[in-house]
Structure formats: structure tokens, C-alpha cells
Amino acid sequence: MGSRLIFKQHGYMLIPYLIFAANQIGIFDFLNSSFVSSYLNDLVALPIILHLALIPMKYIVYRDESYALGSTNILITFIAVSLVFEWFLPTQNPRYVADYFDIACYASGSIWYYFAIDRRQVKPSTNKTLRRLEIYDKKDQ
């Protein structure tokens, strides 16, 4: 039963990981597409980053398998990644190039993550979360 729950919550996350791995090892090279070589990793970057952020929050911080990041955290992550990779790094290193289509790919990946992963999970109420944090703080003292 537990493995079914994990697959139900994380099964859709196999898609971006598999796309990223396939692109890295060259499976899509036969397409000879500049979109695939330039933007596919940007498209799956935010779902992977958000999922990697979700795992410790879900199992270590809140200890609640139903925890979800929520639209605010997803939006903040999207803005931070866009600013760092499309504004800050291009001004610091010529290797990085600012490309507004990358931002569109980050946005698409964030939207996909929100609807495919985040909304599928039951979000804890704020009060429940705050009570849990208070309990953990009391145990540490």
C-alpha cells in the first residue's frame, strides 16, 4: 500500500527526470532540433528543482506525506531561478546568455508542476503545520 501511495504522489515526476536523462545522453539527437538542444532542459528544470525541494520538506521538516509546496513557493522559485540564470549570471560570465524563451520554459515547467504534482496532494492547514512546529520545538528543549 505504501509503495502505491509513493508512486501516486511521485509517479508523474518520473517524466521530467526521464526527459532530462534522455536529453543528457543524446537520445533526442536524431531530431536535429535547436529547440530540443537549447530548451528541453530548461523546460524540465523547475519541476526537478521543485521536487527536490519538496522531498526534505515533506519527510524531514514537516513529516507529513500530504505536504505540498503551494503556488506561492512555486512562484518564488520560478522568479529566483529566472533572475539568477537569465539576469545575474549573464552579467557575471559570458558563458551564460540571457534568453527570454528560457523564462517561458521555466514558467511552463512551473505550471506543469503545479497542476500535475502539487494540486494532486492534500495540503495541510496552516494551523496544523504551526502546531507541529511548536511540538517539535518543545521536544528539542
The confidence score (pLDDT) of residue 8 equals: 57
DSSP 64: -
Average pLDDT in the 78-95 region?
96
Please give the share of the chain, as a percent, with pLDDT higher than 70. Answer: 77
pTM: 0.74
Whether 137 shows a pLDDT value over 50: the answer reads: no
Contact criterion met (CB below 8 Å) for 117 and 13 = yes
Q: How confident is the model at residue 19 (pLDDT cuts 50, 70, 90)?
A: confident
Picking from 32-36, 76-80, 120-124, which range would have the lowest pLDDT averaged per residue? 120-124
Average pLDDT in the 93-122 region?
90
Average pLDDT in the 24-43 region?
82
Cell readout for 97 is 546568455
Contact criterion met (CB below 8 Å) for 45 and 109 = yes
Residues 6+ apart with CB under 8 A from 42: 102, 105, 106, 109
State the residue range of the domain holding 48. Answer: 2-140
Q: Which of 80 and 33 is assigned the larger pLDDT?
A: 80
Q: How far apart are CA 103 and CA 43, in angstroms?
A: 9
Question: Helices in 11-125 by DSSP H: which ranges?
Answer: 14-25, 34-56, 70-83, 89-92, 100-116
The confidence score (pLDDT) of residue 131 equals: 53
Domain tally, the chain: 1
